[in-house]
Amino acid sequence: MAFRREKYVPRGGPSGGDGGRGGDVFMRSTVHDNTLLRYRFNPEHKAERGRHGEGSDCHGKNGESVQLEVPVGTVVYDDATGRMLFDFSAADQVFRVAKGGRGGRGNARFATSTHQAPTEHEPGKPGDEKKLRLELKLLADVGLVGFPNAGKSTLISRISAARPKIADYPFTTLVPNLGVVQMDDYRSYVVADIPGIIEGAHEGHGLGIQFLRHIERTRLLVHLVDVSETGRDPVNDFEVLMGELESFSEGLATKPMILAPSKMDALASAEVVEKLRHIAQIRGMQFIPISSATGAGIEELKYAMSSAIFAAVPQSA
């Protein structure tokens, strides 16, 4: 609130300017960062508040906005409601997560022909205040899925330069491994070795849903089924894992998929392979038996994955 008082200016009148609005908080996706670690140790971020209005009808300065960078693949949730606010699926996407408050009006705004010396003015409005939950989902073109010890880590070590831990016991892989597959035509794609999924994974059993969410973004799934002499039923393993994918997300079970019986060098029964081939035909899946130990079927699988991935990408991309 202010009034103009100046020599030789009778009845200067009200001259209180409006307050500036507060800054916004934005998030922007970037390919130059790949973790959310900075937000674990620095969780609170504020934009600058607007400045007060001043006399002589001077508007207060608007507050500076803040832009927070997050890796591509980050999903933003409202922690209070659990509602997804934004999914950063590409680079340089910008989303306003919190809006700055509006500046209050000065008393000059309240002057009328019958009310020439108003003392009314109003405070500014508070900006948004939110508690968010950030999740980072793995970005890969192909997801390798299968029970523990199905040969996923060995396969990714054969087709890429990735060197995951390989051993003869369950849950050797505890974190997803990424490998870049380079083709002869200079095209490449990223394959993710997803840690072993077991029955009940969608309810948190085994390594649980913490890795199932990573394969939601993949364009193609390669389902490895161990057909060696392990005492397991490969057909039942396939049906159980498909049930886990369907239980977690309907979209997972409908993704393009290649069924790849693995460890063919130690095949227990040719009848099992034929049963799996029949299942693949019914479900409309490609069927490519492989052996990472001997290399059988590996090149065919690489080209099948490449064809499936790039066929799904628009030519303009």
Q: What is the pLDDT along the chain (317 residues), one digit of tens a residue?
A: 878 777 776 667 788 788 888 899 999 998 777 678 888 888 899 988 888 887 777 888 888 899 999 988 888 999 888 898 998 888 889 999 999 988 888 877 888 777 877 888 888 888 888 999 998 776 678 888 888 777 888 888 888 876 644 444 344 444 567 788 888 877 778 888 876 565 544 444 444 455 566 677 788 899 998 888 766 788 888 888 888 788 777 777 788 899 999 888 888 788 989 999 999 999 999 999 999 889 899 999 999 998 888 875 544 33
Residues 277 and 285: their CA atoms lie apart, in Å, by 9
pLDDT for 316: 37
Same domain for 162 and 296?
Answer: yes
Same domain for 164 and 96?
Answer: no
Same domain for 93 and 162?
Answer: no
CATH of the domain at 265: 3.40.50.300
Is 11 a member of any domain?
no
Same domain for 274 and 196?
Answer: yes
- Which range of residues forms the domain containing residue 212? 142-311
Same domain for 305 and 164?
Answer: yes
Is 9 a member of any domain?
no
- Our CA dihedral for 135, 139, 142, 144, rounded to 10 degrees, sits at -40
Residues 29 and 95: their CA atoms lie apart, in Å, by 9
Walk across the sheet containing 25-30 and list its strands.
66-71, 25-30, 94-98
Tokens standing for 220?
């193609």
Same domain for 152 and 112?
Answer: no
E-assigned strand segments in the chain? 25-30, 66-71, 74-78, 84-87, 94-98, 132-136, 142-145, 177-182, 188-193, 220-226, 257-262, 286-287
Same domain for 103 and 153?
Answer: no
Q: 188-193 and 177-182: which strand pairing?
A: antiparallel
Residues 248 and 120: their CA atoms lie apart, in Å, by 58
**What's the alpha-carbon Rg for the chain, to the nearest Å?**
30
pLDDT for 166: 45
The number of folded domains in the chain is 2
Residues 217 and 174: their CA atoms lie apart, in Å, by 20
CATH of the domain at 37: 2.70.210.12
Is 4 a member of any domain?
no
pLDDT for 67: 93
Out of 117, 136, 155, pick the residue that ends a domain: 136
pLDDT for 139: 65
pLDDT for 196: 57
0.85 exceeded by the pTM? no
